[in-house]
């Protein structure tokens, strides 16, 4: 006599650590970083997201708040900085906002939008930006 056996489903395993994310819309096109680095010290915060790292099509979004003091809105360029870079060159933010929504001992989360200007005077509009990184 043969008894059928039920195979137990493999358990769902969470990743060994949380992962960081950064995504936005750049001139109407989706940007979702494949690599994200961030740091938040006692008074400064930086986060960078890179798409297509190591290729000729690499692009990135970088945000910085040199004197952050907690959650809230930080105006670009007076309180914060931002840029979008692609093979055609960087587009440094001339206006925009970075909003920090969550800061804990291990995590920073926020939103951003800005308009960056390139060397030739062209612009890139970055909207619906979000980031979430683990310290």
What band does 33 get if pLDDT is binned at 50, 70 and 90? very high
pTM of the full structure: 0.85
pLDDT value at position 83? Answer: 98
In a domain, 67, yes or no: yes
In a domain, 14, yes or no: no
**How does pLDDT run across 89-111, given as a tens digit for each residue?**
999 999 999 999 999 988 999 99
pLDDT value at position 18? Answer: 67
In a domain, 9, yes or no: no
Number of domain units in the chain: 1
State yes or no: pLDDT of 31 exceeds 90: yes
Which is higher by pLDDT, 88 or 97? Answer: 97
In a domain, 83, yes or no: yes
Instruction: Report residue 124 as tokens.
Output: 């890139």
Question: What residues contact 51, with CB distance under 8 A and at least 6 apart?
Answer: 31, 32, 33, 34, 58, 59, 60
**How does pLDDT run across 116-128, given as a tens digit for each residue?**
999 989 999 999 9
Which is higher by pLDDT, 18 or 70? Answer: 70
Domain that holds residue 129: 21-134
In a domain, 12, yes or no: no
In a domain, 53, yes or no: yes
């Amino acid at each position: 006599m043969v008894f059928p056996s039920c195979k137990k489903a493999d358990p769902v395993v969470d990743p060994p650590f949380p992962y960081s994310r950064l995504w936005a819309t750049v001139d109407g096109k989706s940007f979702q970083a494949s690599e994200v680095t961030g740091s938040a010290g006692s008074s400064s915060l930086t986060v960078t997201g890179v798409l297509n790292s190591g290729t000729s099509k690499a692009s990135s979004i970088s945000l910085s708040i040199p004197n952050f003091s907690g959650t809230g809105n930080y105006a670009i360029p007076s309180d914060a900085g931002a840029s979008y870079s692609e093979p055609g060159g960087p587009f440094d933010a001339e206006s925009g906002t970075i909003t920090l929504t969550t800061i804990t001992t291990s995590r920073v989360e926020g939103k951003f939008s800005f308009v960056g200007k390139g060397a030739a005077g062209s612009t890139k509009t970055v909207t619906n930006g979000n980031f979430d990184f683990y310290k």
